[in-house]
A = this chain, B = another copy of it.
Amino acid sequence: MPAEGSAFAQLHQHLHQTRLLGSISSALYYDQNTVMPAAGAAWRGEQLALLAGQLHERQSNAAYTELVAAAEAELDAEASPEQRRNLQLLRLELERQRCLDPALVSALAKAQSRGNAIWQDARARNDFSAFAPALQELIALRRQQASQLAAAEPVPRSPWEILAQPFEPDISKTRLEELFTPLKAELPVLLEQVRATSTPQPAAIDLPEALQEQLCSELLDSWGYDPARCQRSRSAHPFSCTVGPQDYRITTRVVPGQPLSAFLATAHEWGHSLYEQGLPRTDDHYFPWPLGEATSMGVHESQSLFWECRVARSRAFAERWHPRFCSALGSDPWAGAFGFWRALNPLRPGLIRVEADELSYCLHIVLRFELELALMEQDMPVEDLPHQWNQRMGELLGIQPQTDSEGCLQDIHWAEGLMGYFPSYALGHLISAQISETFEIENGSIQALISAGDEIKLQAWLGKTVWPLGRSVNAEELVEKVSGCPLSAQPFLTYLAAKVDQRAG
Protein backbone atom coordinates (compact mmCIF):
# COMPACT_ATOMS: atom_id res chain seq x y z
CA MET A 1 0.00 0.00 0.00
CA PRO A 2 1.53 3.34 -1.01
CA ALA A 3 2.09 6.04 1.64
CA GLU A 4 -1.04 7.90 2.73
CA GLY A 5 -1.52 11.21 0.98
CA SER A 6 0.96 10.38 -1.78
CA ALA A 7 -0.02 10.73 -5.42
CA PHE A 8 0.20 6.95 -5.60
CA ALA A 9 -2.32 6.60 -2.80
CA GLN A 10 -4.66 9.08 -4.46
CA LEU A 11 -4.28 7.30 -7.77
CA HIS A 12 -5.07 4.03 -6.03
CA GLN A 13 -8.29 5.54 -4.71
CA HIS A 14 -9.16 6.85 -8.16
CA LEU A 15 -8.59 3.44 -9.77
CA HIS A 16 -10.55 1.74 -7.01
CA GLN A 17 -13.61 3.86 -7.81
CA THR A 18 -13.11 3.26 -11.52
CA ARG A 19 -13.09 -0.47 -10.85
CA LEU A 20 -16.26 -0.15 -8.78
CA LEU A 21 -18.01 1.55 -11.69
CA GLY A 22 -16.72 -1.01 -14.20
CA SER A 23 -17.89 -3.87 -12.02
CA ILE A 24 -21.37 -2.33 -11.77
CA SER A 25 -21.49 -2.57 -15.57
CA SER A 26 -20.46 -6.21 -15.31
CA ALA A 27 -23.25 -6.92 -12.85
CA LEU A 28 -25.77 -5.25 -15.19
CA TYR A 29 -24.38 -7.24 -18.13
CA TYR A 30 -24.78 -10.48 -16.19
CA ASP A 31 -28.33 -9.57 -15.21
CA GLN A 32 -29.14 -8.59 -18.80
CA ASN A 33 -28.01 -11.94 -20.16
CA THR A 34 -29.50 -14.17 -17.49
CA VAL A 35 -32.78 -12.78 -16.15
CA MET A 36 -33.63 -9.34 -17.56
CA PRO A 37 -36.98 -9.37 -19.41
CA ALA A 38 -36.68 -8.47 -23.09
CA ALA A 39 -38.57 -5.20 -22.77
CA GLY A 40 -35.98 -3.98 -20.27
CA ALA A 41 -33.34 -3.71 -23.01
CA ALA A 42 -33.78 -0.03 -23.93
CA TRP A 43 -33.55 1.17 -20.33
CA ARG A 44 -30.61 -1.15 -19.67
CA GLY A 45 -28.91 0.39 -22.69
CA GLU A 46 -29.32 3.82 -21.12
CA GLN A 47 -28.00 2.58 -17.78
CA LEU A 48 -24.92 1.08 -19.42
CA ALA A 49 -24.34 4.20 -21.54
CA LEU A 50 -24.48 6.35 -18.40
CA LEU A 51 -21.86 4.16 -16.71
CA ALA A 52 -19.72 4.04 -19.87
CA GLY A 53 -19.76 7.84 -19.98
CA GLN A 54 -18.71 8.04 -16.34
CA LEU A 55 -15.97 5.49 -16.92
CA HIS A 56 -14.64 7.29 -19.95
CA GLU A 57 -14.65 10.57 -18.06
CA ARG A 58 -12.76 9.09 -15.11
CA GLN A 59 -10.16 7.55 -17.42
CA SER A 60 -9.41 10.69 -19.38
CA ASN A 61 -10.25 13.77 -17.30
CA ALA A 62 -7.74 16.38 -16.17
CA ALA A 63 -7.75 15.23 -12.53
CA TYR A 64 -6.78 11.70 -13.56
CA THR A 65 -4.17 12.92 -16.04
CA GLU A 66 -2.59 15.03 -13.32
CA LEU A 67 -2.66 12.16 -10.83
CA VAL A 68 -0.82 9.88 -13.23
CA ALA A 69 1.79 12.55 -13.88
CA ALA A 70 2.18 13.24 -10.14
CA ALA A 71 2.62 9.52 -9.42
CA GLU A 72 5.24 9.33 -12.17
CA ALA A 73 7.05 12.25 -10.58
CA GLU A 74 7.08 10.35 -7.27
CA LEU A 75 8.95 7.41 -8.80
CA ASP A 76 12.41 7.33 -7.31
CA ALA A 77 15.25 4.86 -7.01
CA GLU A 78 13.28 2.91 -4.40
CA ALA A 79 10.20 2.49 -6.57
CA SER A 80 9.40 -1.19 -7.10
CA PRO A 81 9.34 -2.72 -10.59
CA GLU A 82 5.62 -3.32 -10.02
CA GLN A 83 5.00 0.39 -9.41
CA ARG A 84 6.92 1.24 -12.58
CA ARG A 85 5.06 -1.34 -14.63
CA ASN A 86 1.66 -0.20 -13.32
CA LEU A 87 2.39 3.40 -14.21
CA GLN A 88 3.80 2.45 -17.59
CA LEU A 89 0.59 0.60 -18.48
CA LEU A 90 -1.63 3.41 -17.19
CA ARG A 91 0.40 5.96 -19.16
CA LEU A 92 0.11 3.96 -22.38
CA GLU A 93 -3.67 3.71 -22.04
CA LEU A 94 -3.96 7.37 -21.15
CA GLU A 95 -1.94 8.42 -24.19
CA ARG A 96 -4.14 6.26 -26.40
CA GLN A 97 -7.24 7.92 -24.99
CA ARG A 98 -5.72 11.36 -25.57
CA CYS A 99 -4.78 10.66 -29.19
CA LEU A 100 -8.35 9.98 -30.18
CA ASP A 101 -10.57 12.69 -31.57
CA PRO A 102 -13.84 12.54 -29.59
CA ALA A 103 -15.74 13.07 -32.85
CA LEU A 104 -14.21 9.86 -34.21
CA VAL A 105 -15.02 7.96 -31.01
CA SER A 106 -18.62 9.00 -31.31
CA ALA A 107 -18.77 8.24 -35.07
CA LEU A 108 -17.32 4.78 -34.41
CA ALA A 109 -19.79 4.00 -31.64
CA LYS A 110 -22.66 4.90 -33.96
CA ALA A 111 -21.21 2.94 -36.90
CA GLN A 112 -20.73 -0.11 -34.66
CA SER A 113 -24.27 -0.02 -33.44
CA ARG A 114 -25.59 0.53 -36.98
CA GLY A 115 -23.24 -2.15 -38.36
CA ASN A 116 -24.55 -4.69 -35.87
CA ALA A 117 -28.18 -3.99 -36.78
CA ILE A 118 -27.55 -4.10 -40.53
CA TRP A 119 -25.52 -7.30 -40.16
CA GLN A 120 -28.26 -9.06 -38.17
CA ASP A 121 -30.65 -8.34 -40.98
CA ALA A 122 -28.22 -9.09 -43.82
CA ARG A 123 -27.25 -12.40 -42.27
CA ALA A 124 -30.88 -13.41 -41.79
CA ARG A 125 -31.59 -12.60 -45.46
CA ASN A 126 -28.21 -13.91 -46.73
CA ASP A 127 -27.59 -10.56 -48.41
CA PHE A 128 -23.92 -9.54 -48.24
CA SER A 129 -24.48 -6.55 -50.52
CA ALA A 130 -26.75 -5.01 -47.86
CA PHE A 131 -23.94 -5.25 -45.32
CA ALA A 132 -21.04 -4.20 -47.59
CA PRO A 133 -21.45 -0.39 -47.24
CA ALA A 134 -21.59 -0.64 -43.44
CA LEU A 135 -18.45 -2.78 -43.44
CA GLN A 136 -16.77 -0.31 -45.77
CA GLU A 137 -17.55 2.52 -43.38
CA LEU A 138 -16.32 0.59 -40.36
CA ILE A 139 -13.04 -0.22 -42.10
CA ALA A 140 -12.56 3.45 -43.01
CA LEU A 141 -13.27 4.59 -39.45
CA ARG A 142 -11.04 1.95 -37.90
CA ARG A 143 -8.21 2.91 -40.28
CA GLN A 144 -8.68 6.51 -39.14
CA GLN A 145 -8.60 5.36 -35.52
CA ALA A 146 -5.38 3.45 -36.13
CA SER A 147 -3.83 6.49 -37.71
CA GLN A 148 -4.74 8.67 -34.72
CA LEU A 149 -3.50 6.03 -32.27
CA ALA A 150 -0.17 5.66 -34.04
CA ALA A 151 1.23 8.66 -32.17
CA ALA A 152 0.83 6.86 -28.84
CA GLU A 153 2.50 3.61 -29.87
CA PRO A 154 5.89 3.07 -28.23
CA VAL A 155 7.15 1.28 -31.40
CA PRO A 156 6.11 1.64 -35.05
CA ARG A 157 3.09 -0.56 -35.84
CA SER A 158 0.89 -1.19 -38.85
CA PRO A 159 -2.79 -0.15 -38.71
CA TRP A 160 -3.96 -3.74 -38.10
CA GLU A 161 -1.36 -4.21 -35.38
CA ILE A 162 -2.45 -1.03 -33.63
CA LEU A 163 -6.06 -2.21 -33.58
CA ALA A 164 -5.02 -5.61 -32.21
CA GLN A 165 -3.15 -4.12 -29.22
CA PRO A 166 -6.09 -3.93 -26.79
CA PHE A 167 -6.70 -7.66 -27.25
CA GLU A 168 -3.11 -8.88 -27.57
CA PRO A 169 -0.55 -6.37 -26.28
CA ASP A 170 2.67 -6.16 -28.33
CA ILE A 171 1.44 -8.59 -31.00
CA SER A 172 2.90 -8.19 -34.52
CA LYS A 173 1.91 -9.52 -37.92
CA THR A 174 5.34 -11.08 -38.34
CA ARG A 175 4.95 -13.18 -35.19
CA LEU A 176 1.47 -14.25 -36.14
CA GLU A 177 2.65 -15.28 -39.60
CA GLU A 178 5.48 -17.29 -38.03
CA LEU A 179 3.05 -19.02 -35.70
CA PHE A 180 0.34 -19.60 -38.29
CA THR A 181 2.54 -20.91 -41.11
CA PRO A 182 3.06 -24.35 -39.54
CA LEU A 183 -0.67 -24.50 -38.72
CA LYS A 184 -1.53 -23.87 -42.37
CA ALA A 185 0.91 -26.55 -43.42
CA GLU A 186 0.11 -29.31 -40.96
CA LEU A 187 -3.52 -28.99 -39.85
CA PRO A 188 -4.92 -29.87 -43.29
CA VAL A 189 -2.77 -33.02 -43.27
CA LEU A 190 -4.18 -34.06 -39.91
CA LEU A 191 -7.68 -33.29 -41.10
CA GLU A 192 -7.13 -35.54 -44.09
CA GLN A 193 -5.90 -38.29 -41.79
CA VAL A 194 -9.10 -38.04 -39.72
CA ARG A 195 -11.31 -37.95 -42.76
CA ALA A 196 -9.80 -41.26 -43.89
CA THR A 197 -10.83 -42.96 -40.63
CA SER A 198 -14.09 -41.13 -39.98
CA THR A 199 -17.12 -42.90 -38.61
CA PRO A 200 -20.77 -42.07 -39.29
CA GLN A 201 -22.17 -39.22 -37.18
CA PRO A 202 -23.94 -40.65 -34.10
CA ALA A 203 -27.68 -40.11 -33.63
CA ALA A 204 -28.75 -37.14 -31.50
CA ILE A 205 -28.96 -38.04 -27.82
CA ASP A 206 -31.50 -36.42 -25.56
CA LEU A 207 -30.18 -35.91 -22.04
CA PRO A 208 -32.82 -34.09 -19.93
CA GLU A 209 -31.94 -30.55 -18.82
CA ALA A 210 -32.11 -31.33 -15.12
CA LEU A 211 -29.55 -34.13 -15.58
CA GLN A 212 -27.26 -31.90 -17.62
CA GLU A 213 -27.47 -29.30 -14.87
CA GLN A 214 -26.61 -31.98 -12.34
CA LEU A 215 -23.59 -33.17 -14.34
CA CYS A 216 -22.33 -29.60 -14.72
CA SER A 217 -22.65 -29.10 -10.97
CA GLU A 218 -20.73 -32.29 -10.27
CA LEU A 219 -18.00 -31.20 -12.67
CA LEU A 220 -17.66 -27.81 -10.98
CA ASP A 221 -17.74 -29.35 -7.51
CA SER A 222 -14.85 -31.60 -8.47
CA TRP A 223 -12.98 -28.54 -9.78
CA GLY A 224 -13.17 -26.44 -6.64
CA TYR A 225 -16.31 -24.40 -7.36
CA ASP A 226 -17.07 -22.45 -4.18
CA PRO A 227 -20.71 -21.30 -4.00
CA ALA A 228 -19.72 -18.63 -1.49
CA ARG A 229 -17.74 -16.86 -4.23
CA CYS A 230 -19.26 -18.18 -7.46
CA GLN A 231 -22.59 -18.28 -9.19
CA ARG A 232 -23.70 -20.26 -12.23
CA SER A 233 -26.77 -19.26 -14.26
CA ARG A 234 -28.32 -19.95 -17.65
CA SER A 235 -27.98 -17.64 -20.63
CA ALA A 236 -28.45 -17.79 -24.39
CA HIS A 237 -24.67 -17.80 -24.94
CA PRO A 238 -22.26 -19.11 -22.29
CA PHE A 239 -19.91 -16.53 -20.75
CA SER A 240 -17.79 -15.84 -17.70
CA CYS A 241 -17.80 -12.54 -15.87
CA THR A 242 -16.24 -11.06 -12.75
CA VAL A 243 -18.48 -8.78 -10.69
CA GLY A 244 -16.16 -8.14 -7.77
CA PRO A 245 -12.93 -9.39 -6.20
CA GLN A 246 -14.94 -12.14 -4.48
CA ASP A 247 -17.78 -12.53 -6.95
CA TYR A 248 -17.36 -14.74 -10.02
CA ARG A 249 -20.13 -15.73 -12.38
CA ILE A 250 -20.35 -18.20 -15.25
CA THR A 251 -23.27 -19.17 -17.43
CA THR A 252 -24.14 -22.21 -19.51
CA ARG A 253 -26.91 -23.25 -21.85
CA VAL A 254 -28.43 -26.62 -22.67
CA VAL A 255 -28.55 -27.43 -26.39
CA PRO A 256 -31.26 -29.95 -27.32
CA GLY A 257 -29.84 -33.14 -28.81
CA GLN A 258 -26.28 -32.28 -27.71
CA PRO A 259 -25.73 -33.97 -24.35
CA LEU A 260 -22.09 -32.83 -24.05
CA SER A 261 -22.46 -29.20 -25.05
CA ALA A 262 -23.39 -27.71 -21.65
CA PHE A 263 -20.79 -29.89 -19.93
CA LEU A 264 -17.94 -28.75 -22.19
CA ALA A 265 -19.10 -25.11 -22.14
CA THR A 266 -19.07 -25.27 -18.34
CA ALA A 267 -15.48 -26.55 -18.39
CA HIS A 268 -14.56 -23.74 -20.81
CA GLU A 269 -16.17 -20.89 -18.86
CA TRP A 270 -14.87 -22.22 -15.56
CA GLY A 271 -11.37 -22.04 -17.07
CA HIS A 272 -11.90 -18.34 -17.79
CA SER A 273 -13.20 -17.84 -14.27
CA LEU A 274 -10.32 -19.70 -12.60
CA TYR A 275 -7.88 -17.35 -14.32
CA GLU A 276 -9.84 -14.34 -13.08
CA GLN A 277 -10.00 -15.82 -9.59
CA GLY A 278 -6.27 -16.39 -9.62
CA LEU A 279 -5.25 -12.89 -10.73
CA PRO A 280 -3.30 -11.04 -8.06
CA ARG A 281 -5.78 -9.29 -5.84
CA THR A 282 -5.14 -10.32 -2.27
CA ASP A 283 -2.75 -7.41 -1.92
CA ASP A 284 -4.61 -4.13 -1.98
CA HIS A 285 -1.83 -2.75 -4.09
CA TYR A 286 -2.81 -4.88 -7.04
CA PHE A 287 -6.52 -5.26 -7.41
CA PRO A 288 -7.48 -1.97 -9.05
CA TRP A 289 -4.11 -1.61 -10.80
CA PRO A 290 -3.21 -2.95 -14.25
CA LEU A 291 -1.08 -5.70 -12.72
CA GLY A 292 -4.28 -7.19 -11.29
CA GLU A 293 -5.77 -7.63 -14.76
CA ALA A 294 -5.69 -10.38 -17.37
CA THR A 295 -2.81 -9.80 -19.72
CA SER A 296 -4.42 -10.69 -23.05
CA MET A 297 -7.41 -12.32 -24.71
CA GLY A 298 -5.09 -15.08 -25.93
CA VAL A 299 -3.95 -15.96 -22.43
CA HIS A 300 -7.54 -15.81 -21.19
CA GLU A 301 -8.58 -18.17 -23.95
CA SER A 302 -5.65 -20.49 -23.19
CA GLN A 303 -7.05 -20.99 -19.70
CA SER A 304 -10.56 -21.83 -20.88
CA LEU A 305 -9.24 -24.11 -23.63
CA PHE A 306 -6.96 -25.86 -21.17
CA TRP A 307 -9.91 -27.01 -19.07
CA GLU A 308 -12.18 -27.66 -22.01
CA CYS A 309 -9.77 -29.41 -24.40
CA ARG A 310 -6.72 -30.62 -22.50
CA VAL A 311 -8.78 -31.87 -19.58
CA ALA A 312 -12.47 -32.38 -20.39
CA ARG A 313 -11.93 -33.71 -23.93
CA SER A 314 -9.07 -35.98 -22.84
CA ARG A 315 -9.14 -39.76 -22.97
CA ALA A 316 -8.61 -40.13 -19.22
CA PHE A 317 -11.43 -37.74 -18.47
CA ALA A 318 -13.74 -39.63 -20.82
CA GLU A 319 -12.91 -42.86 -19.02
CA ARG A 320 -13.76 -41.31 -15.67
CA TRP A 321 -17.02 -39.61 -16.69
CA HIS A 322 -18.41 -42.19 -19.12
CA PRO A 323 -20.02 -44.31 -16.38
CA ARG A 324 -21.58 -41.19 -14.85
CA PHE A 325 -23.13 -40.10 -18.15
CA CYS A 326 -24.42 -43.64 -18.75
CA SER A 327 -26.00 -43.80 -15.31
CA ALA A 328 -27.61 -40.38 -15.88
CA LEU A 329 -29.00 -41.54 -19.24
CA GLY A 330 -29.86 -45.05 -18.13
CA SER A 331 -28.09 -46.41 -21.21
CA ASP A 332 -24.82 -46.22 -23.14
CA PRO A 333 -25.44 -44.76 -26.59
CA TRP A 334 -21.66 -44.42 -27.06
CA ALA A 335 -21.01 -48.15 -26.81
CA GLY A 336 -18.17 -47.75 -24.32
CA ALA A 337 -15.72 -45.15 -23.02
CA PHE A 338 -13.79 -44.94 -26.28
CA GLY A 339 -16.96 -44.02 -28.15
CA PHE A 340 -17.75 -41.46 -25.45
CA TRP A 341 -14.29 -39.93 -25.90
CA ARG A 342 -14.80 -39.79 -29.68
CA ALA A 343 -18.12 -38.05 -29.08
CA LEU A 344 -16.22 -35.49 -26.96
CA ASN A 345 -13.89 -34.99 -29.93
CA PRO A 346 -15.95 -34.79 -33.13
CA LEU A 347 -13.02 -34.02 -35.46
CA ARG A 348 -14.97 -33.01 -38.51
CA PRO A 349 -14.36 -29.77 -40.43
CA GLY A 350 -17.42 -27.55 -40.73
CA LEU A 351 -18.36 -24.13 -42.03
CA ILE A 352 -19.00 -22.45 -38.70
CA ARG A 353 -16.14 -21.23 -36.49
CA VAL A 354 -17.94 -21.40 -33.16
CA GLU A 355 -18.84 -25.04 -33.78
CA ALA A 356 -15.34 -26.00 -34.98
CA ASP A 357 -13.25 -28.73 -33.38
CA GLU A 358 -9.65 -28.45 -32.13
CA LEU A 359 -8.24 -29.54 -35.48
CA SER A 360 -9.95 -27.06 -37.78
CA TYR A 361 -10.52 -24.15 -35.37
CA CYS A 362 -7.21 -22.41 -36.04
CA LEU A 363 -7.73 -22.62 -39.80
CA HIS A 364 -10.92 -20.60 -39.38
CA ILE A 365 -8.79 -18.02 -37.59
CA VAL A 366 -6.03 -17.98 -40.21
CA LEU A 367 -8.70 -17.31 -42.84
CA ARG A 368 -10.05 -14.32 -40.91
CA PHE A 369 -6.60 -12.95 -40.05
CA GLU A 370 -5.51 -12.97 -43.68
CA LEU A 371 -8.76 -11.41 -44.87
CA GLU A 372 -8.54 -8.68 -42.21
CA LEU A 373 -5.06 -7.80 -43.40
CA ALA A 374 -6.26 -7.75 -46.98
CA LEU A 375 -9.17 -5.46 -46.12
CA MET A 376 -7.31 -3.16 -43.72
CA GLU A 377 -3.89 -2.94 -45.30
CA GLN A 378 -3.91 -4.37 -48.80
CA ASP A 379 -6.83 -2.49 -50.34
CA MET A 380 -8.91 -5.55 -51.06
CA PRO A 381 -12.35 -4.23 -52.07
CA VAL A 382 -15.10 -5.14 -49.62
CA GLU A 383 -17.09 -6.54 -52.54
CA ASP A 384 -14.47 -9.28 -53.02
CA LEU A 385 -14.96 -10.63 -49.51
CA PRO A 386 -17.54 -13.37 -50.26
CA HIS A 387 -15.52 -14.72 -53.17
CA GLN A 388 -12.23 -14.56 -51.28
CA TRP A 389 -13.80 -16.17 -48.24
CA ASN A 390 -15.21 -19.09 -50.17
CA GLN A 391 -12.07 -19.70 -52.18
CA ARG A 392 -9.74 -19.65 -49.17
CA MET A 393 -12.16 -21.77 -47.15
CA GLY A 394 -11.89 -24.40 -49.86
CA GLU A 395 -8.09 -24.22 -49.80
CA LEU A 396 -7.79 -24.36 -46.01
CA LEU A 397 -10.61 -26.66 -44.99
CA GLY A 398 -11.67 -28.38 -48.17
CA ILE A 399 -15.26 -27.18 -47.88
CA GLN A 400 -17.16 -24.16 -49.20
CA PRO A 401 -20.30 -22.48 -47.90
CA GLN A 402 -23.41 -22.40 -50.04
CA THR A 403 -24.49 -19.08 -48.57
CA ASP A 404 -22.71 -15.99 -47.19
CA SER A 405 -24.71 -16.41 -43.99
CA GLU A 406 -22.71 -19.58 -43.44
CA GLY A 407 -19.63 -17.82 -44.81
CA CYS A 408 -18.32 -14.30 -44.40
CA LEU A 409 -21.49 -13.12 -42.61
CA GLN A 410 -21.30 -15.68 -39.79
CA ASP A 411 -19.36 -13.70 -37.15
CA ILE A 412 -20.42 -10.61 -35.24
CA HIS A 413 -16.85 -9.20 -34.98
CA TRP A 414 -16.58 -7.33 -38.27
CA ALA A 415 -20.17 -6.12 -37.93
CA GLU A 416 -18.92 -4.20 -34.89
CA GLY A 417 -15.61 -3.23 -36.46
CA LEU A 418 -13.69 -5.56 -34.13
CA MET A 419 -10.73 -6.16 -36.42
CA GLY A 420 -7.65 -7.51 -34.65
CA TYR A 421 -9.54 -9.79 -32.27
CA PHE A 422 -9.63 -13.18 -34.02
CA PRO A 423 -5.97 -14.28 -33.67
CA SER A 424 -6.28 -14.36 -29.87
CA TYR A 425 -8.56 -17.40 -30.18
CA ALA A 426 -5.83 -19.32 -32.02
CA LEU A 427 -3.11 -18.10 -29.66
CA GLY A 428 -5.19 -19.56 -26.84
CA HIS A 429 -4.80 -23.04 -28.34
CA LEU A 430 -1.05 -22.63 -28.81
CA ILE A 431 -0.45 -21.20 -25.34
CA SER A 432 -2.54 -23.91 -23.68
CA ALA A 433 -0.55 -26.61 -25.47
CA GLN A 434 2.84 -25.14 -24.64
CA ILE A 435 1.94 -24.62 -20.98
CA SER A 436 0.60 -28.17 -20.80
CA GLU A 437 3.86 -29.52 -22.20
CA THR A 438 5.78 -27.64 -19.52
CA PHE A 439 3.52 -29.00 -16.81
CA GLU A 440 4.15 -32.55 -17.99
CA ILE A 441 7.91 -32.06 -18.14
CA GLU A 442 7.89 -30.83 -14.56
CA ASN A 443 5.14 -32.98 -13.05
CA GLY A 444 4.48 -35.98 -15.27
CA SER A 445 1.47 -36.92 -17.34
CA ILE A 446 -1.70 -34.84 -17.18
CA GLN A 447 -3.62 -37.95 -18.19
CA ALA A 448 -2.37 -39.88 -15.17
CA LEU A 449 -3.38 -37.02 -12.94
CA ILE A 450 -6.85 -36.89 -14.45
CA SER A 451 -7.23 -40.67 -14.10
CA ALA A 452 -6.51 -40.21 -10.40
CA GLY A 453 -9.14 -37.42 -10.16
CA ASP A 454 -6.42 -34.98 -9.16
CA GLU A 455 -7.23 -32.01 -11.41
CA ILE A 456 -6.91 -29.83 -8.36
CA LYS A 457 -3.12 -30.25 -8.75
CA LEU A 458 -3.37 -28.69 -12.20
CA GLN A 459 -5.12 -25.73 -10.64
CA ALA A 460 -2.48 -25.44 -7.95
CA TRP A 461 0.25 -25.33 -10.60
CA LEU A 462 -1.53 -22.77 -12.80
CA GLY A 463 -2.28 -20.77 -9.67
CA LYS A 464 1.43 -20.67 -8.92
CA THR A 465 2.88 -20.17 -12.40
CA VAL A 466 0.35 -18.47 -14.68
CA TRP A 467 -2.50 -16.67 -12.94
CA PRO A 468 -0.51 -14.46 -10.54
CA LEU A 469 1.47 -12.89 -13.38
CA GLY A 470 -1.37 -10.53 -14.25
CA ARG A 471 -0.09 -7.89 -16.66
CA SER A 472 3.49 -8.03 -15.45
CA VAL A 473 4.23 -9.79 -18.76
CA ASN A 474 2.51 -9.95 -22.14
CA ALA A 475 1.30 -13.24 -23.60
CA GLU A 476 4.55 -14.21 -25.28
CA GLU A 477 6.64 -13.25 -22.25
CA LEU A 478 4.28 -15.29 -20.08
CA VAL A 479 4.82 -18.37 -22.21
CA GLU A 480 8.57 -17.89 -22.20
CA LYS A 481 8.61 -17.33 -18.45
CA VAL A 482 6.57 -20.48 -17.78
CA SER A 483 8.04 -22.81 -20.42
CA GLY A 484 11.52 -21.37 -20.90
CA CYS A 485 10.96 -21.26 -24.69
CA PRO A 486 9.45 -18.76 -27.10
CA LEU A 487 5.85 -19.43 -28.08
CA SER A 488 5.64 -21.96 -30.92
CA ALA A 489 2.97 -23.93 -32.76
CA GLN A 490 4.84 -27.18 -32.23
CA PRO A 491 3.43 -28.31 -28.86
CA PHE A 492 -0.09 -27.79 -30.20
CA LEU A 493 0.61 -29.73 -33.40
CA THR A 494 2.31 -32.56 -31.49
CA TYR A 495 -0.66 -32.80 -29.15
CA LEU A 496 -3.13 -32.89 -32.04
CA ALA A 497 -1.15 -35.49 -33.95
CA ALA A 498 -1.24 -37.75 -30.90
CA LYS A 499 -4.98 -37.23 -30.54
CA VAL A 500 -5.55 -38.09 -34.19
CA ASP A 501 -3.44 -41.23 -33.86
CA GLN A 502 -5.22 -42.30 -30.71
CA ARG A 503 -8.56 -41.64 -32.30
CA ALA A 504 -7.91 -44.06 -35.11
CA GLY A 505 -8.20 -46.61 -32.30
Contact = CB atoms under 8 A, between A and B. Distances in A.
A31 B24 contact: no
A237 interface: no
A51 interface: yes
A47 B23 contact: yes
A50 to B, nearest CB: 5
Contact of A50 (B17, B40, B243): B17
A13 B23 CA distance: 25
Given A37-B229, A247-B36, A43 B31 contact: no
Interface string A129-167: 000000000000000000000000000000000000000
Nearest to A39: B246
Interface string A24-61: 10011011001111111011101100110000000000
A312 B229 CA distance: 38
Contact of A44 (B21, B47, B247, B248): B247
A230 interface: yes
A231 interface: yes
B24 A227 contact: no
Contact of A24 (B24, B37, B244, B247): B24
A16 to B, nearest CB: 8
A314 B39 CA distance: 33
Interface in A226-278: 226-231, 233, 243-249
A418 interface: no
A219 interface: no
A384 to B, nearest CB: 42
A28 B30 CA distance: 11
Nearest to A35: B231
Nearest to A16: B46
Contact of A27 (B27, B244, B249): B27
A191 interface: no
A31 B27 contact: yes
A20 interface: yes
A21 B50 contact: yes
Contacts of A233: 35
A24 B17 contact: no
Contacts of A46: 20
B35 A244 contact: no
B51 A247 contact: no
Contacts of A249: 35
B20 A47 contact: yes
A43 B246 contact: yes
The interface centre, meaning the residue of A39, A44, A226, A231 with most chain B CB atoms within 10 A of its CB, is A39
A231 B231 CA distance: 18
Contacts of A27: 27-28, 31, 47
A233 B46 CA distance: 24
Contacts of A43: 20, 23, 243-247
Interface in A193-232: 226-231
A443 B259 CA distance: 55
Nearest to A54: B54
Interface string A410-443: 0000000000000000000000000000000000
A50 B24 CA distance: 10
A42 B246 contact: yes
A234 to B, nearest CB: 11
A447 B39 CA distance: 34
A247 B37 CA distance: 6
Contacts of A228: 37-39
A248 B37 CA distance: 8
A37 B245 contact: no
21 contacts: A17-B50, A20-B43, A20-B46, A23-B47, A24-B28, A24-B51, A27-B27, A34-B35, A35-B233, A36-B243, A36-B247, A37-B226, A37-B227, A37-B228, A37-B246, A38-B229, A39-B228, A39-B229, A40-B244, A44-B247, A47-B244
* A-B CB proximity, top 9 nearest: A40-B247, A43-B244, A39-B246, A39-B229, A38-B228, A39-B228, A35-B231, A40-B244, A37-B229
Interface of A: 17, 20-21, 23-24, 27-28, 30-31, 34-40, 42-44, 46-47, 50-51, 226-231, 233, 243-249
Given A30-B31, A37-B229, 7 more contacts: A34-B35, A37-B226, A38-B229, A40-B247, A43-B243, A43-B246, A44-B244
